[in-house]
């Protein structure tokens, strides 16, 4: 079953690809990190990682895999870093420490806005949700204008109100996908699937939104039409699984999961190098 329609081009998602060479290393400073979650050390928000070089590059980037720093390898800012860096021009959190707190606040908000944009962009590829494409495109245009404006506009933007509208649209899109897939027997209120063994199960149309899938076994499963919105997929085994028509998956979720060359993912996502 084909749910996504790319018209031979998935460049719609290029804006979300991280470009560390165009960023001032904001994620390595602004966020809290825990060694338990696969980062180099416990770090409070606002303090630079000790591996961040003066030129905003990771000094151990080539060693992340050998050092098993899965937190660093899985993290994906959805392109927020380069957007915020460009908004401040020649200045950055390091050259002008007085603006650092503002830069970090703008970055965190931009990250969530970029996530909204990611999901809205996927709506534009979902054939069952074609009647919602025009509305989704209008929301996308509104967010693009906001993110190109100014830090103050981003900080003052009412994300809660906008998020309610976006969530309603994503819900409606998912309802249309469910109808197309025909999953009336696969509804559940259960959200904790930590360590659960689904191996080789037919899970077409299953709703895993906001579910805990940490270390769950989805090896060999058919996941066509599954809703992964907000699911925690750290160490989820998706080897030999078909997620090519999974819905609302992000690059961060794919990076955090365990796949292989036989794992099929949607065309707008990139296979992690650790799977090769």
Mean pLDDT to the nearest integer, 224-250: 97
pLDDT at 185: 57
* Domain residue ranges of the chain, discontinuous segments joined by +: 11-26+77-179, 183-276
Q: Sorting pLDDT into bands at 50, 70 and 90, what band is 195?
A: very high
Q: Sorting pLDDT into bands at 50, 70 and 90, what band is 186?
A: low
pLDDT at 7: 76
Size of the chain in residues: 276
Whether 105 contacts 159, CB under 8 Å: no
Element (H, E) at 140: helix 133-147
Q: Sorting pLDDT into bands at 50, 70 and 90, what band is 271?
A: very high
Whether 22 contacts 29, CB under 8 Å: no
Backbone angles phi, psi at 210, to 5 degrees: 55, 20
Q: Sorting pLDDT into bands at 50, 70 and 90, what band is 184?
A: low
Question: Residue 18: which region, alpha, beta or left (left: phi > 0; alpha: psi -120 to 50)?
Answer: beta
pLDDT at 168: 97
pLDDT of residue 205 exceeding 70, the answer is: yes
Whether 6 contacts 268, CB under 8 Å: yes
Per-residue pLDDT tens for 97-125? 999 999 999 999 999 999 999 999 999 99
Q: Can you tell me the distance from the alpha carbon of 271 to that of 259, in angstroms, rounded to the nearest whole number?
A: 9
What is the CATH code of the structural domain delimited by 183-276? Answer: 2.160.20
Whether 28 contacts 44, CB under 8 Å: no
């Amino acid at each position: 079953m084909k749910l996504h329609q790319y018209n031979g081009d998935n460049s719609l998602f290029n804006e979300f690809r991280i470009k560390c060479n165009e960023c001032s290393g904001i994620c390595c400073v602004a966020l809290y990190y825990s060694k338990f979650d696969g980062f180099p050390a416990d770090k409070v928000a606002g303090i630079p990682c000790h591996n961040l070089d003066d030129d905003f590059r990771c000094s151990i980037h080539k060693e992340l895999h050998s050092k098993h720093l899965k937190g660093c390898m899985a993290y994906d800012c959805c392109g927020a870093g380069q957007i915020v860096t460009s908004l401040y021009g020649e200045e950055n959190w390091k050259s002008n420490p007085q603006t650092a707190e503002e830069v970090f606040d703008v970055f965190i908000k931009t990250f969530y806005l970029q996530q909204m944009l990611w999901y809205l962009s996927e709506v534009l590829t979902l054939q069952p949700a074609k009647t919602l494409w025009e509305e989704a495109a209008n929301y996308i245009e509104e967010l693009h204008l906001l993110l190109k404006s100014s830090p103050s506009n981003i900080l003052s933007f009412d994300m809660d109100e906008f998020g309610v509208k976006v969530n309603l649209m994503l819900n409606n899109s998912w309802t249309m996908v469910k109808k197309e897939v025909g999953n009336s027997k696969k509804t559940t209120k259960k959200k904790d699937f930590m360590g659960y063994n689904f191996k080789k199960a037919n899970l077409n149309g299953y709703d895993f939104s906001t579910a805990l899938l940490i270390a769950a076994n989805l090896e060999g499963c058919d996941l066509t039409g599954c809703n992964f919105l907000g699911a925690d997929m750290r160490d989820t085994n998706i080897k030999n699984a078909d997620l090519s028509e999974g819905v609302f998956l992000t690059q961060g979720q794919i990076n955090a999961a365990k796949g292989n060359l036989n794992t099929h993912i949607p065309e707008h996502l990139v296979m992690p190098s650790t799977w090769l």
